[in-house]
Amino acid sequence: MDRIRIHNMSFYGHHGVAASERDLGGRFQVDVELGLDLRAAGESDAVADTVDYKAVYDLVAQIQESHRFRLLEAFAHAIAEAVLDRFAVEEVTVRVRKASVPLGGLIDYAEVEITRRREN
């Protein structure tokens, strides 16, 4: 299976378990990896034969802006389900990272990765 990867889409969102995280907001990064056959796009060199990266970015941004998730897991799941619903892909992997997670110590970020496949 071929892959399209969009890395480090960055957003400022109001997601988190603690009310203070949802009120103040924070930085989130999202990676989306699409699994599909890219042979037609490779042969035609036409956007119509692939997945438009901007459309994926716009979808992620819309989900991020229209919801306040408590869990990174729910955020990633919503993105994966929407991608499968909207685009002709067989598989999607979503990684959501959050910096400044209040864990009582210093970390670079917390990350959730999920993979969903189209059910036949």
| Secondary structure of residue 11 in the 3-state scheme | strand
C-alpha 57/C-alpha 10 separation (Å) is: 10
98 among known catalytic residues: yes
> For residues 117 and 120, what is the distance between their CA atoms, to the nearest angstrom?
9
Residues in contact with 6: Cβ distance below 8 Å, sequence separation at least 6, in sequence order? 31, 32, 33, 53, 56, 57
pLDDT tens for each residue of the chain, 120 residues long:
999 999 999 999 999 998 888 899 999 999 999 999 999 999 999 999 999 999 999 999 999 999 999 999 999 999 999 999 999 999 999 999 998 787 888 888 999 999 999 986
- Would you list the domain boundaries of the chain? 2-117
| The model scores a pTM over 0.85 | yes
Give the closest residue to 96 by CA, choosing from 32, 26, 19: 32
pLDDT recorded at residue 102: 75
Residue 9 structure tokens: 């889409």
**What CATH class does 2-117 carry?**
alpha beta
Specify whether the CB–CB gap between 72 and 25 falls below 8 A: no
The catalytic residue among 34, 98, 107, 114 is 98
